[in-house]
């Protein structure tokens, strides 16, 4: 299941329109243009358990203790634009969560890289030794 095939039904998304903060002229105190989108990640049937776990981790502070993802959109001056913005941000977050991270393959440093590192350390110690008030004689 890829991010393109994940379809979140409208029944799982809850939207509330609230007043936007900040400057906005005469209408700012009268019109509720900001959107507060709520999506219950833990109760969602449209997400796989692995995607759900990654989404919870990615959500960070936007996730409540009950597992509800809250996205607030108030960039635009109209409800419809803010609604689209909130849904787009939810889709992007779900898309990011659907990408399976690559497993790290443990590697060991090569013998040559160890030797280069030790040589660099030796060079550095020589430089510092020469800076002393009485250089040590080898």
Strands 13-18 and 68-73: unpaired
Q: Which residues contact 13 (CB under 8 A, 6 or more apart)?
A: 37, 38, 39, 87, 90
To which H or E segment does residue 22 belong?
Answer: none
For the stretch 7-36, pLDDT in tens is 777 777 777 787 777 666 666 666 777 888
Phi, psi of 52 (to 5 degrees): -60, -45
Topology of domain 10-98 in CATH is Double Stranded RNA Binding Domain (3.30.160)
pLDDT of residue 80: 86
For the stretch 91-114, pLDDT in tens is 888 888 888 889 999 999 999 999
Q: Is residue 138's pLDDT more than 90?
A: no
Give the predicted TM-score (pTM) of the model: 0.65
Q: CA triplet 124, 125, 130: central angle to 5 degrees?
A: 100
Let me know: does 9 contact 46? Beta carbons within 8 Å: yes
pLDDT of residue 1: 47
């Amino acid at each position: 299941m890829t991010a393109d095939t994940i379809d979140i039904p409208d029944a799982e998304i809850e939207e509330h329109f609230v007043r936007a903060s900040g400057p906005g002229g005469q209408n700012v105190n009268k019109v509720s243009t900001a959107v507060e989108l709520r999506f219950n990640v833990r109760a969602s049937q449209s997400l796989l358990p692995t995607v759900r776990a990654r989404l919870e981790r990615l959500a960070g502070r936007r996730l409540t203790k009950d597992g509800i993802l809250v996205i607030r959109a108030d960039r635009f001056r109209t409800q419809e634009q803010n609604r689209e913005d909130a849904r787009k941000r939810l889709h992007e977050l779900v898309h990011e969560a659907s990408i399976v991270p690559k497993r790290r393959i443990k590697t060991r440093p090569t013998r040559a890289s160890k030797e280069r590192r030790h040589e660099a350390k030796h060079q550095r110690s020589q430089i510092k030794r020469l800076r002393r008030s009485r250089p040590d004689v080898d």
